[in-house]
Chains A and B, each alone.
Chain A
């Protein structure tokens, strides 16, 4: 899509509307997307899964069989409006608001997917502690070269749908700006939660290309029309993702829950697109072997359901010493469990919040330690210490990212999703 089409294109417009939010944006979305004839959700909610994060079953899949993320996202960071610990009435208010969303839309990418999580700061309101089965430290820096600010609201709501109007409508309903959604009566949690930050984004072919007129991306419009993310390559290959089972807490009162790590990352892609060659981009994103053997066609749809590492992760140090670079995928794949499973399930998406190219890196994992271990593998500090690869230069994609904020959340099972006590 050419720049001259900007503002005319339907999906471009919808993305912008999601970023702006509010009633006018919603009605604009309705005009542009049309009003899809969506079913309502179930009247009887008892059949909904215990896991808030059980999304994969209801998301679509691509030709290769990879789960396809919903295209539009809103993250609401929320403060508890009251003092001290929430009351049973507060709990009921939140639960009714969430149930309203479930009745309004089917639980799918074409309807609405959402989750609610809580920070360590939230649980600090209580005298009791979280059980040992929950690993939820306060957020901090996870690399020697980053200095992120901690996100410490009380709660995080993640709304996702293929339709911008659905995430916007759900947001408005929660915040008390509308009383019906998809002709279903809904209620608000605005008396209990006040938003402190709102982050938006998108993922999927076409959306990054249509929204590349932001700081951090060269003016030459380098982002490929097929690219699901700004960096120009596919991610989220089935075999690089932990299963929902793998990220689910198994024991204790929060069994069937999970943890969320959310980081806000700025992208600086001038060098990536203006100075690095495709050879270097492929090598730094995947592995030097991917570059040497030209394994990646276009954005990488040809790779199927894995990233084609063929053991490249075991050659990370050797590549660092002889090839002068290591791949992001190659490094990160070193973080696996005894069953050779990745430790985290990525549900990240790109952003143009603040007019800057960004990435909201949202991932699910059984323990925050699993995330830390994965991030340490991605840092490749061990490799940099023993080779010509720099701490950031030629070290995967670290040179092109700045982590501005980090936050950790417990995502309880559905039964405890509304203002849980630490010992429910």
Chain B
């Protein structure tokens, strides 16, 4: 799906016209039901993206516009995931009742937004309440989102408040003056175990093989795809792949002069890879024209990317990108062994 074909009007119409739950199982991949919702972790997992033990759907709770952005709220079965610090992954066993997820995106461009300044969930049901700062996450069928397993207070009607947080990441292009303030979206959610049990789920025969689940085919909600090479703005330098990360690099002009922009994305699905620590050098005729860290930024054309100001990039310059640490986001199954030790890549400007 090309997330960039969205218009604001399409999104708003669609979200208004389609009721809660209409999106369940929209991937089309999910055909059978199973009572075993957490098959064993695949044995002998490769240090790479791999096909997970199972694929499951999710249920859309709702979508709303808040503060100029769209907020989507979804849930799935509570399932295991891995938190990550540096290159250390820690298995989080399934706990609670559901896996609650949110995604925030720009309705005009369909760009999924980082909400690193404190996205929070607050759930209330009568006197019961729970609050959570969910993890930033990456999953094979959804890409970059926010989520966590949560315990609920049984069946019934919940009010779920999503506080988006401000987009603290540097905002460039048409995003420069947007998303600087937090916004709040509130959802009513009728939760029942029966409805949850209808979420499709099936195990995979090729679990453990290199590869990834196909992205969900969502009609309403864009996924966090990085722009294709053809869509990249500026003077595209080229691309290189290492450690299941596909790095695309371009030089863009802005108010502050030129900047190198690096857009890393997952092999297979092309999702943006947030929360990496990247640095780069630019070698020109044996001398170093640039050597510094790249910082995170987001814009409507480049999506989530990493950048640094440079004086100029000349033909023949060799850009070397170093991954000081891979994406520091929690991983759904099939991503937890990937991107932890990414070799340097080099791209030579034409």
Contact = CB atoms under 8 A, between A and B. Distances in A.
Interface string B309-350: 000000000000000111110000000000000000000000
Contacts of B87: 324
Contact of B85 (A270, A283, A381): A283
B273 to A, nearest CB: 10
B165 interface: yes
A353 B48 CA distance: 48
B173 interface: no
B90 A388 contact: no
Interface string A230-254: 0000000000000000000000000
A266 B170 CA distance: 29
Interface residues of A, number: 37
B88 A394 contact: no
Interface stretch (B33-41, B127-135, B225-233): B127-135
| 10 residue pairs, one from A and one from B, having the closest CB atoms | A145-B118, A324-B86, A388-B328, A321-B277, A323-B86, A325-B85, A324-B328, A388-B277, A388-B275, A324-B85
Nearest to B114: A390
21 contacts: A144-B117, A144-B166, A145-B168, A266-B131, A268-B132, A271-B132, A279-B90, A280-B85, A283-B85, A320-B277, A322-B324, A324-B87, A324-B328, A325-B86, A384-B168, A385-B170, A388-B327, A392-B117, A393-B135, A393-B136, A394-B328
A391 B277 contact: no
A276 interface: yes
Nearest to A216: B131
B275 to A, nearest CB: 4
Interface in A357-393: 381, 384-393
Contacts of B106: none
B168 A277 contact: no
A400 B120 CA distance: 11
A156 to B, nearest CB: 27
Given A145-B168, A280-B88, 13 more contacts: A270-B151, A271-B132, A275-B92, A322-B277, A323-B85, A324-B85, A388-B277, A388-B325, A391-B117, A391-B118, A392-B116, A393-B275, A399-B133
A386 B293 contact: yes
B125 to A, nearest CB: 13
Interface string A272-296: 0011110110010000100000000
A281 to B, nearest CB: 11
Interface centre among A320, A392, A399 (most CB of B within 10 A): A392
Interface in B126-177: 129-133, 135-136, 148, 151, 165-166, 168, 170
